[in-house]
């Protein structure tokens, strides 16, 4: 991998991290009757988590969101735009 490709890869990774951070920033938390927490991100169907604490819930939500994004990318499904960040998969040539 040459320097230009390495730089592009790092920029793509940074954009993905920023996308996840902003998406999680939209999360809505609710305390349930049993004392546990539930969290979901509006507009991200099926992305939710629950846990004993807000932090546990947040960690689980990030993991669920990452897996959800990988499935969306694999299946070429649309991915919501978050605060102007649009994840677009670009085809690449095999090495």
9 vs 32 pLDDT, higher one:
32
Tell me how many degrees the CA angle 80-53-42 measures, rounded to the nearest 5: 20
pLDDT band for position 3 (cuts 50, 70, 90) = low
* Residue-wise pLDDT tens digits, 20-61: 999 999 999 999 999 999 999 999 999 999 999 999 999 999
Rounded alpha-carbon distances, angstroms, from residue 63 to 6, 47, 74, 90: 25, 10, 17, 23
Classify each residue of 11-48 as buried b or exposed e, where b means 16 or more C-beta atoms within 10 Å of its C-beta.
eeeeeeeebbeebbeebeeeeeeeeebebbbeebeebb
Is residue 38 in a domain? Answer: yes
Is 60 contained in some domain?
yes
pTM flag (> 0.85): no
Q: What percent of the chain has pLDDT over 90?
A: 68
CATH of the domain at 13: 3.30.160.250
- Looking at the structure of the chain, the number of domains it has is 1
pLDDT of residue 7: 47
């Amino acid at each position: 991998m040459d320097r230009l490709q390495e730089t592009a890869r790092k920029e793509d990774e940074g954009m993905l991290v920023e996308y996840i951070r902003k998406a999680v920033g939209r999360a809505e938390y609710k305390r349930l009757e049993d004392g546990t927490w539930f969290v979901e991100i509006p507009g991200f169907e099926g992305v939710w988590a629950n846990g004993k604490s807000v932090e546990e819930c947040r960690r689980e939500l990030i993991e669920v969101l990452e897996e959800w994004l990988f499935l969306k990318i694999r299946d070429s499904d649309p991915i919501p735009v978050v605060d102007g960040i649009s994840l677009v998969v670009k085809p690449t040539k095999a090495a």
